[in-house]
Amino acid sequence: MTATAKTEPEARPASAVEAPPKRRRAAATLLGVVLTGLLALGVLVSASNGAFAIPIGDLLASVGHRLGLPGSPIDGTGESVLWNIRFPRVVLGVIVGASLACAGALMQGMFGNPLAEPGIIGVSSGAAVGAVCAIAFGFTFAGNWTISLCAFAAGLVTVTVVYVLSRSGGRTEVVTLVLTGVAVNGLAGALIGIFIFYADNDEITAITFWQMGSLSQATWPKILAVAPLALIGLALAPTYGRRLDLLALGERPARHLGVDVERLRLHLIVIVALLTGAAVAVSGVIGFIGLVVPHLVRMAAGPGHRLLLPLSTVGGAAVVVWADLAARTIAAPAEIPLGILTALIGSPFFFWLLRRTRRRQGGWA
């Protein structure tokens, strides 16, 4: 108690121990600038490239025109390609990438485990079950929002189940988490299989393509259907930064420091479900973004969640926008499903992380 302190030992000058966080903060600022720049550049390059090339100058002029600034619409089909095909796709990429990376960072903090990720532990597939169910049975009870809401609801159930199953004594062992993911992914795959079995041919094509993960379905109405979920989740996530830091000490020590752990857990489950539902509803399962992006940010800017969450959000958006550009230009005129591309790059990273985690913890603990 400061009030009752009788013998206050002389305080050391704070500067002696202040240096490292300052360096980290500088690294974080730099990273934030770089990631934002990469995202902005990615949006421009991605919107201008494709089967129908639109010079960046014309693109900016068209955007300026629509914003009421000096500029002019693009002649011919360019204007329509840009506003009805390219921009929806890029915007969806930003939403999906930001949501997945933010959800990954939240889950890792919540499980106290760097391997937690919506794809690996089965939350994405869980949300996918809800979305596929809505597609296969042609649900329309909430109009345009139906698929998003079904994905969110199924995601919510899955996060809760995984959380309850994989925790013991206030922490999550790597093995338990990964094996729970195997089980949940297996069950989700079976359920999706059942829906496909009962679906007709058109629906099967829709489901199959969607299942591989792709931004090609992007349209403005679909974006409007997922954007609210994503925006609510993304806006709320950073407010949990400090509490997630404390959670790194374990549940009891976090409670000792004044965190209402039960309530925090409940809130985080809902936010993760919102973000995963938003990411999965239109674009299907795009894996490993939530694993790779927060991990790289942590290496550069430290593990503090107050920086990790916003930086991962921007970083995830940038990565998905660039990855989608690659997915649709590498094998042009064909298009590689984005989910397959991210899995190709993400899986080896997961192997590496798994081995490193094992080495650090001296076994599969």
Residues near other proteins (CB under 8 A): 1-9, 11-14, 16-21, 108-109, 112-114, 171, 242, 245-250, 252-253, 255-261, 263, 266, 298, 302-304, 360
**Closer to other proteins at the Cβ: 93 or 109?**
109
User: What is the smallest separation between the CB atom of 262 and other proteins, expressed in angstroms?
Assistant: 9
**Closer to other proteins at the Cβ: 8 or 75?**
8
User: What is the smallest separation between the CB atom of 217 and other proteins, expressed in angstroms?
Assistant: 36
Q: What are phi and psi of 168, to 5 degrees?
A: -145, 135
User: What is the smallest separation between the CB atom of 303 and other proteins, expressed in angstroms?
Assistant: 4
Determine the Cα–Cα distance for residues 338 and 56; give it in Å rounded to an integer.
24
Cis bond upstream, residue 333 (ω within 30): yes
Determine the Cα–Cα distance for residues 208 and 210; give it in Å rounded to an integer.
5
**Closer to other proteins at the Cβ: 14 or 67?**
14
**Closer to other proteins at the Cβ: 89 or 243?**
243
**Closer to other proteins at the Cβ: 72 or 262?**
262
For residue 144, what is the DSSP state? G
DSSP SS3 for 210: helix
What is the distance of C-alpha 31 from the center of its chain?
A: 18
User: What is the smallest separation between the CB atom of 215 and other proteins, expressed in angstroms?
Assistant: 31
Beta strands in the chain (DSSP E): none
User: What is the smallest separation between the CB atom of 350 and other proteins, expressed in angstroms?
Assistant: 18
Q: Largest alpha-carbon pair distance within the chain?
A: 81
**Closer to other proteins at the Cβ: 65 or 255?**
255
Query: What's the token pair of residue 364?
Result: 């599969």
What is the distance of C-alpha 228 from the center of its chain?
A: 15
3-state secondary structure labels for all residues of 174-202: HHHHHHHHHHHHHHHHHHHHHHHHHCCHH
- Beta-carbon contacts of 354 under 8 Å, excluding residues fewer than 6 positions away, are 115, 174, 178
